Amino acid sequence: MPQAKLTDRFGRTVNYVRLSVTDRCDFRCVYCMAEDMTFLPRQQVLTLEEIARLARNFVALGTEKIRLTGGEPLVRKDILELVREVGTYGLRDFAMTTNGSQLPTMAEKLRKAGLHRLNISLDSLDSEKFRSITRTGNLQQVLDGIDAARDAGFRGIKLNTVVMKGRNDEEIPELIEFARRKQVDISFIEEMPLGEISEHDRGLALCTSEEVRDIIRQRHELIPVAKDSGGPARYYQMPDSDVRVGFISPHSHNFCSTCNRVRVTVEGRLLLCLGNEHSVDLRRVLRGNPVTDDKLQQAIIDAMDLKPERHHFSTNGDVQILRFMNMTGG
């Protein structure tokens, strides 16, 4: 294992990088994007070679975990080449977050290309509700995608559900039964104020993790999992199942003190915090002349000084961060 070399001003070691491989998506989830999005022109987007170079240099600086995300990573052309390349870097954990729509044809290829784990977003099991939340999504395709991921032999599959009051909060028990049946973990996420949306009022729609736990407890005992994953999710288990139930609660549970991660947008902006705008332009370094790995690594090391101590999300639905989640890399 390489020596950890990325440490910020607060003594936190950064060993987890989320790389966004596209801002584009085949869905338009109501909490994530506006309906009519403009996407980045090609020259502003990092090439797959540039993304791989970034990944390699992060690994040289002690990164042990990489997650590919977006936008929808599986709509990026030739994504398998990137997965194959990053798969050779000896990561302890190599994961992808996807909406699942392309998994029926891609799951097995991803597994063979060296991906370890998949997080699949699933906000509803009702096809009409699913369509209204994703605006363009087809539920059956995603359900088939989940089965394809299981058939391909992926072990650590986790579902992600953003819970919105009056939208899908009534489906929490069903989603839990679905996860138990499929033997996959599930995390419930509080909606974050990223990007300006007009489709719903985020303040009114906020369903806190405490409320979600109360709903689940009407049917199942939830026992906190002792081992801390080191991430923002807090995990629980039900006495009669191996399935873990996670809660990502940016509003009600501050997880900043153990934050070990940074993000890189597909434009090459290194984001030091999900809930702050602090960033460094790595594309400029990548496209500088001459560009050397030393220069790139120094820029990444220097950026650690900008990592803020914590984020402050308010619960009144006000937008605090202008970039949408598809730009941030969820």
Binding residues for S-adenosyl-L-methionine: 31, 71, 121, 192
- Using rule CB under 6 A, residue 115 touches ligand SAM: no
Nearer to ligand SAM, 88 or 127 (CB): 127
> At its nearest, how many Å lie between ligand SAM and the CB of residue 301?
27
Binding-site member from 194, 256, 274, 285 for ligand SAM (CB under 6 A): 194
What residues form the annotated binding site? 18, 25, 29, 31-32, 67, 71, 97, 121, 158, 192, 256, 259, 261-263, 273
- Using rule CB under 6 A, residue 260 touches ligand SAM: no
CA distance 102 to 84: 18
Contact predicate 288/176, CB 8 Å? no
Q: Which residues of 189-223 are buried (b: 16+ CB within 10 A; e: fewer)?
A: bbbbbbbebebbebeebbbbbebbbebbeeebebe
> At its nearest, how many Å lie between ligand SAM and the CB of residue 230?
19
- Using rule CB under 6 A, residue 168 touches ligand SAM: no
Phi, psi (rounded to 5 degrees) for 167: -120, -60
- Using rule CB under 6 A, residue 160 touches ligand SAM: yes
Binding-site member from 21, 32, 157, 266 for ligand SAM (CB under 6 A): 32
CA distance 266 to 263: 10
Nearer to ligand SAM, 74 or 270 (CB): 74
CA distance 137 to 104: 14
- Give Cα 185 distance to the centre of its chain: 15
Tell me if residue 83 falls in helix, strand or coil: helix
Binding-site member from 22, 97, 124, 237 for ligand SAM (CB under 6 A): 97
| Dihedral of alpha carbons 128, 38, 70, 161, sign | negative
Nearer to ligand SAM, 57 or 97 (CB): 97
- Using rule CB under 6 A, residue 279 touches ligand SAM: no
Binding-site member from 8, 23, 64, 72 for ligand SAM (CB under 6 A): 72
What CA–CA distances, in Å, run from 277 to 8, 162, 205, 247, 328?
16, 23, 24, 24, 10
Stretch that binds ligand SAM, among 48-56, 57-65, 187-195, 223-231 (CB under 6 A): 187-195
Contact predicate 156/134, CB 8 Å? no
Both tokens of 185, joined, read 């973990």
Contact predicate 97/77, CB 8 Å? no
Both tokens of 175, joined, read 């989603």
- Pairing type for strands 244-248 and 16-20 reads unpaired
- Using rule CB under 6 A, residue 208 touches ligand SAM: no
> At its nearest, how many Å lie between ligand SAM and the CB of residue 20?
8
- Using rule CB under 6 A, residue 22 touches ligand SAM: no
CA distance 169 to 173: 9
- Using rule CB under 6 A, residue 106 touches ligand SAM: no
Tell me if residue 135 falls in helix, strand or coil: coil
Binding-site member from 98, 209, 249, 260 for ligand SAM (CB under 6 A): 98
- Using rule CB under 6 A, residue 233 touches ligand SAM: no
Binding-site member from 149, 162, 216, 296 for ligand SAM (CB under 6 A): 162
- Using rule CB under 6 A, residue 69 touches ligand SAM: yes
> At its nearest, how many Å lie between ligand SAM and the CB of residue 106?
13
Binding residues (CB under 6 A) for ligand SAM: these are 25, 31-32, 69-70, 72, 97-99, 121, 160, 162, 189, 191-192, 194, 325-326, 330
